[in-house]
Amino acid sequence: MTYQFAEVAAPKGAPLLLLLHGTGGDERDLIGLGRQLMPEAHLVSPRGDVLEGGAPRFFRRLAMGVYDMDDLERATRKMAGFIRETAARVRPKTVAALGYSNGANILASVLFTSPDLVDRAVLMHPLIPFEPPQQPELSGRHVLITAGRRDAISPSSATQGLADYFMDQGAVTELVWHDGGHELRPSEVAAAKAFLMA
C-alpha cells in the first residue's frame, strides 16, 4: 500500500497532516502549505501512482470529469491502506488530511468508505461527478470544502451537492467560497488553517 512520498517529521505525539496534490503535482507541492497550516504537525505527502500524459494523479479518468470507477475503487483502497499504515507508524494524536483537486477527490472517496481514518478533512476544489453511498459513520467527522464560484473544472453546483451530502450524513461541514476559478486563494488557505487548528 505504499507510494513515493515526502515527509517532514515532528516530535512524537504531534498531529499528522496528510497532503494530497492535484493533477500534475508531486509529493513536494503541498509541503510548504502544510507547514503554513499546521507548523507543529508531522507531514506526509504521497505522489499519485497514475500518469496522465506524464502528469501524476491518484486515479485514472476517461475524460474531463469522467472517472474510471474501477480504478477509483482500486486507488481508494490503496490510499485508505496508506493512511492506516502511516498513522500506525507515526502514532499521532490526531489525523488530518488535505487534498487539492484530484487529491481532494481521492480524499473524498476515502471518506465515503473509511471515514474513521481521518478526524478532519480539507477538500480544496473537489469534483465528485457521481452520487456517493450513504455513510452514517461520517456523523461527527469534520469536513471543510473550499471552492471557486467560477471554477470551470469543479462546477459550483457539484461542490454544493457534495457539501449537502456530507451534511446529510451528519458530518460537521463548512463550505467556503471565493469568486475565482480553480486556483487556490488566500481566503481559503486562511479558512483551512483556522479549521485545522480548531
Enumerate domains of the chain plus CATH numbers.
Answer: 5-197 (3.40.50.1820)
- Quickly state the pLDDT bin for 81 (edges 50, 70, 90): very high
Do 82 and 46 touch, CB atoms closer than 8 A? Answer: yes
Could you say which DSSP state residue 133 is in? P
* Given the residues 68, 119, 182, 187, the one annotated as active site: 182
Reported as a single tens digit per residue, the pLDDT across 107-127 is 999 999 999 999 999 999 999
Do 163 and 175 touch, CB atoms closer than 8 A? Answer: yes
Q: What is the dihedral of CA 19, 66, 158, 46, to 10 degrees?
A: 0
Do 19 and 79 touch, CB atoms closer than 8 A? Answer: no
Percent of the chain with pLDDT over 90: 97
- Quickly state the pLDDT bin for 66 (edges 50, 70, 90): very high
* Given the residues 45, 142, 151, 154, the one annotated as active site: 151
Rounded to whole angstroms, the Cα distance separating 6 from 51 reads 18
Residue 142: active-site member:
no
Reported as a single tens digit per residue, the pLDDT across 143-197 is 999 999 999 999 999 999 999 999 999 999 999 999 999 999 999 999 999 999 9
pLDDT for the residue 147: 98
Residue 151: active-site member:
yes
- Quickly state the pLDDT bin for 2 (edges 50, 70, 90): confident
Reported as a single tens digit per residue, the pLDDT across 21-51 is 999 999 999 999 999 999 999 999 999 999 9
Residue 133's alpha-carbon distances to 13, 106, 108, 128, in angstroms, are 34, 15, 12, 12
Which uninterrupted H or E stretch holds 85? helix 69-90
pLDDT for the residue 31: 98
* Given the residues 45, 101, 114, 154, the one annotated as active site: 101
pLDDT for the residue 127: 97
Rounded to whole angstroms, the Cα distance separating 138 from 17 reads 19
pLDDT for the residue 1: 60
